[in-house]
Amino acid sequence: MILRYPLGLLALLAVPVIILLYLLKQKHEEYIIPSLYLWKNALNDIEANSPWQKLKRNILMLLQIFAIILLALIISEPIIRNAGSKEEPVLLVIDCSLSMQSADIKPTRFDAAVADALKLVDSLSPGTEITVIASASKPYIPIHKAVSSDNAIMEIKSLKASDTAEDIEGTVKLVQSLIRDNPEIRVCWFSDGNNPLDNIEYYSYNRNGNNYAVTLLSYRKNNDGTKTTALSRISNFSVQDAELDVSLYTDGNFYDAQRIKLGAGKTGNIYWSDLPGSANMLELSIDTDDVLAKDNKAGVMIQSDEARKVLLATEKNIFLEKLLSLIPYLDIYRTDIEDMDEFKGYDLYIFDGKLPEKLPEDGHSILFKPSPNEYFSVSGISEYSSIRAADHPIYSNLKQDISFSTIKTDIYNLPEWAAPIMVNDEGTAAFEGYMGRRRIMVFGFDLHDTNLPVQPFFPVIMTRAVQELIPAGSDKVSSVFAGEPIGLSVDPKAKEVYVINPDGYSELVAPPFPVASFEGTTKIGAYSYEQHLEEGIKKQQFFVNAPTEKEISLSNSIPSGLSVDAEASEDGKAEGVGRSPVPGGLSLKVVLIWMLLAILIIEWWVYSNGIAV
């Protein structure tokens, strides 16, 4: 048996106080009577009739002392530990991802998991080291090796279920590293997916309640931009077939609704054609109730057709000209450096082989084999080398080997503000980064000196390079999944950049410049994005949608070892189905409270029946 709050025993200090009170006796109010004669005899009579009279005052006192002892124990909360409650350090992993907000376990899976985690902490011996991992898009450790269960309880209570997907791999790595530190650590994992590790206590919270989700919402404009077609994908993650009503909203107004029949675990597409080309925002909503409402909606911002002005300063580069002409939203202006007095008014400047004395201030730049300049330095020249891709977003999702040959390329001393794009064995051949508020992308070779233009990935990586600097549309980002960073294309003239989340909370993103990608996409819904320019405030929006494919489809798989009661899951009444029992110590608190009550009743009985005076 252990005491959860040993300080509660301080209540025993009341025992000497009671004894003292009995010794001092109570001071009574005076009451004048004709004679004490009868009262004295009555008092003597009571004493004479009770052979244990000497003890009778003590009986009340003993009862009161016993009551105080019980009270002290109640405050101290004694717990009889069960077999599972060892004194080894405990690691609690609590899934805080979106799927844990499902209400198939009342009130939610997350609340049930937190309640069980608290119960488990309650049952631990005092002094047990407690570590907690909150597992969401970025697993973190809110409390590490806490000896005080109070602190752990406080931290666990402060956890909130997020709208993001769980980074299960990151969490597993974190857990494994903690296990490596202390192989004796007892891992208790509270989640709704499948047990990711062996030799851990896995508590599952999943009744596979009916859940439907919008897994995709995208659009395509026709050639003249007058009409838009929306494509939506709806998934039924439940174990029953479903017929769902799906509504589409354009710019916040209801546009159309369709009904779709989906088998259990199936996905279906709904097309919405001939939407007005003027629509800027599409929102989709599944109107059928399910256990998780947040994934029933999705939104996307339609990128405008506003053309981006690009100045291509080159003597002749057919590859670049052809490539840029393939990007639909670009207005290409070709010039020669010598022909230009001032570079101003373009969104992107591409300097091929030449460089003005001063780089333009109002736009980003791409430089091909630039002449020596004040901005960065060349460390050497590499000839007949193979250039390969560095780790950079422009290569994302490209699975083939990115490499090409070059006759000659400059090798650069990588500036502090830059990240490499292409490297060879001798160093960095291409890099990019923010120089102040301008973003510059530098390639150390002339395209004509390489076989890059004939590589199949050339148009892809060059298009992405351009999109990195000037994203499609008028700097609009469309939508991301919750928890994923979003790259914000910031106008070089912007003084301040704010992102306002769906709750109305405004976050200053910049300064400092350059703007790193915005990572606060933790809430599902429409975000505002404000750039404060000299000429005014430029407002845009983007959507953060539920990470359905990554999160919901994973979490709604049936955990091993659990039976699924589909009917019970529908109304959530069948407690215990889909919820693993959490071992805890047996608290004696309730028993002690009943005992205290019994003592108080006995004391009252003793008093009222005159067994004691």
Partner 1 sequence: MSQLFDSTFIQKIQQLSINARFTLDSNSAGNRKSRSKGSSVEFSDFREYTPGDDFRRVDWNAYGRFEKLFIKLFMEEREAPVTIFVDVSKSMDWGEPNKSIASRRLAAALAYISLANFDKVSVICINDTIQQMCRDMRGKNSFHRVINMLENIQYSGESDIKRAIEIYQINSGRGITVIVSDFFTEGSFNEMIKLLAYKKQAVYICHILSPQEERPSISESVKLVDSETGKTADITVTPALLNAYSRELEKFKNQIKQTCIKWGAYCFSFTSETAFEEMVKEVAEH
**Binding site residues, partner 1, CB under 8 A:** 25-43, 45-46, 49, 607-613
Q: Is 315 exposed, middle or buried (0-12, 13-18, 19+ CB in 10 A)?
A: exposed
**Minimum gap (Å) between residue 59 Cβ and partner 1:** 13
Of 39 and 254, the one with the shorter C-beta distance to partner 1 is: 39
**Minimum gap (Å) between residue 35 Cβ and partner 1:** 4
- CB burial readout 340-378, b (16+ within 10 A) else e: eeebeebbbbbbbbbbbeebbeebbbbbbbbeeeebbee
Of 62 and 239, the one with the shorter C-beta distance to partner 1 is: 62
- Measured between alpha carbons, how far apart are the two ends of the chain, in Å? 38
Of 13 and 38, the one with the shorter C-beta distance to partner 1 is: 38
Of 21 and 516, the one with the shorter C-beta distance to partner 1 is: 21
**Alpha-carbon span 432 to 539, nearest angstrom:** 27
The answer to whether residues 114 and 95 touch, using CB atoms and an 8 Å cutoff, is no
**Minimum gap (Å) between residue 157 Cβ and partner 1:** 47
SS3 592: helix
Of 31 and 52, the one with the shorter C-beta distance to partner 1 is: 31
**Minimum gap (Å) between residue 13 Cβ and partner 1:** 26
Instruction: Give the residue among 171, 208, 379, 176 at the shortest CA–CA distance from 292.
Output: 208
**Minimum gap (Å) between residue 581 Cβ and partner 1:** 52
Calculate the CA 370 to chain-centre distance.
Answer: 43
**Minimum gap (Å) between residue 147 Cβ and partner 1:** 49
The answer to whether residues 613 and 56 touch, using CB atoms and an 8 Å cutoff, is yes
Cα 109–Cα 113–Cα 116 angle in degrees, nearest 5: 140
**Minimum gap (Å) between residue 599 Cβ and partner 1:** 19
How many alpha carbons lie under 13 Å from residue 592 in its C-beta half-sphere? 19
Of 48 and 80, the one with the shorter C-beta distance to partner 1 is: 48
**Minimum gap (Å) between residue 47 Cβ and partner 1:** 9
Show the tokens assigned to 418.
Answer: 């830059």
The CA distances from residue 48 to 39, 51, 53, 359, in Å, are 14, 7, 8, 114
Of 49 and 563, the one with the shorter C-beta distance to partner 1 is: 49
**Alpha-carbon span 345 to 351, nearest angstrom:** 15
Of 40 and 173, the one with the shorter C-beta distance to partner 1 is: 40
- The strand pair at 267-276 and 227-236 is best described as antiparallel
